[in-house]
Amino acid sequence: SKVCFGDAVKTALQEKRLLLLWFHQDESAATQRLCRDVFQNDLVLEMISRSYSLWAGDVGRFEPGQIARLLGITLFPALVVCQPLRSGFDADSACLEWPLGTFAQPVFRLAPAAPGEPLASDQAIAALTSAAEDHNDEVQAVEAQRAARTSQIAEERALREQQDREFEESLLQDQLAEVRRSEAAVAASEASVGSAASPQKAASPTATGSPASASAAASEEAKAAAAAALAAEAAAAEAAAAAEAAAAEEEAKRKARGAEILATPEPAPSGSSTAKLSLRLPSGERLQRTFTAEQTLEEVYEWAHCCRTTPQPAVFDLCTSFPTRVLSERSASLGSLGLAPSSALVLKAVDG
């Protein structure tokens, strides 16, 4: 293959495919038979196009020879199926790291029983088919879980919004009922004052209607107070909705920036000229990424904020784990901070 092994692993990881490694040595009858019986088989061709990234290498060359040695392959031609991994922490058994910082876990390998013998074609096709089916089932299960979680989050959000609306409507009804009770009380007071004033008017024609005027004024004040309360409630609801919308927009921007960062290729680890950082979050989750030594600490803070699954804590410090040291000089380069060639960091929440 013209593509280097590290790029093949990254491509397979991005496309959610298995990596099929084909190691061969010169031209031989066994190699020709593998090409004819396996790699020209219609079922295998369709399966590779759907589920695999193929990487072939002549073990007489440096990189294929080194990878075959690391995998313990000594007889050729040989096939190895690998699961690409984001980091070595994702491996549940020994995995291949080549080049530094690129990980792939062998799923199975097929090699001749003796030098010069061909691979069993039926066995190879059956193994490739089984691995592809298992991988596709796993990918579909992960996608189904992600879709279910997304649906659950949407349902929970819709339920909260409905509950908020119902609460606001109930509060409005309570306020309207209070206004009606206040108006009824004022009307009853006016009627009482009117009946008490009638005899006085008969005895004293010069009596004024000031009690009725006072009652009317009280009624107007009650109505104004109720209207002000309704207006305040509406303003509070509008402010809460605006704050929620702003938070949602900010979260969308954070996730979009995180996707941009993850889509940017990482530099290949190269001694003191790069800094391979492992970051532990408060949840126990770990993030890992390689930066150049010239990149600034500010870029690491942006990566830590945008590429984690949750935006909390909103305010945080990045610290070295041993010895413990808060990294605050955001304009400084990673090399000047002593973070190259590799460092383990911890994200700690800042109160207030």
Q: What is the pLDDT along the chain (352 residues), one digit of tens a residue?
A: 689 999 999 999 999 999 999 999 877 889 899 999 999 988 899 999 999 999 999 999 999 999 999 999 999 999 999 999 998 888 777 889 998 999 999 999 999 988 888 888 888 998 998 899 888 888 888 888 888 888 888 888 888 888 888 888 888 888 888 888 888 888 888 787 766 666 655 555 554 556 667 677 777 877 887 778 788 887 888 888 888 888 889 999 999 999 999 999 999 888 889 999 999 999 888 999 999 999 999 999 999 999 999 999 999 999 987 677 999 999 999 999 999 988 889 999 998 6
**How many Å apart are CA 321 and CA 344, to the nearest integer?**
6
Predicted TM-score (pTM) above 0.85? no
Beta strands in 59-123, from DSSP E residues, in sequence order: 78-85, 96-97, 103-110
pLDDT of residue 209: 54
pLDDT of residue 210: 63
Sorted by where each starts, the structural domains of the chain and their CATH numbers stand as 5-139 (3.40.30.10), 271-349 (3.10.20.90)
Counting every residue written for the chain, the total comes to 352
Strands 324-327, 274-280: pairing kind: unpaired
Strands 316-321, 324-327: pairing kind: antiparallel
Amino acid at 39: F
**How many Å apart are CA 119 and CA 124, to the nearest integer?**
7
pLDDT of residue 65: 94
Which residue in 107, 109, 105 sits closest to 96, CA to CA? 105
Which residue in 286, 287, 224, 285 sits closest to 261, CA to CA? 287
Is 230 strand, coil or helix? helix
DSSP label at 100? Answer: T
Residue 286 has φ and ψ, to the nearest 5°, of -120, 140
Helices then strands, counting H and E runs in the chain, come out as 7, 10
Is 15 strand, coil or helix? coil
* Burial state string for 172-181 with b = 16 or more CB within 10 A and e = fewer than 16: eeeeeeebee
DSSP label at 259? Answer: H
**How many Å apart are CA 278 and CA 342, to the nearest integer?**
8
DSSP label at 285? Answer: -
Write the CB contacts of 292 (distance below 8 Å, at least 6 apart in sequence). Answer: 267, 273, 274, 275, 334
Is 267 strand, coil or helix? coil
Q: How far is CA 142 from the centre of its chain?
A: 14
**How many Å apart are CA 92 and CA 22, to the nearest integer?**
24
pLDDT of residue 207: 46
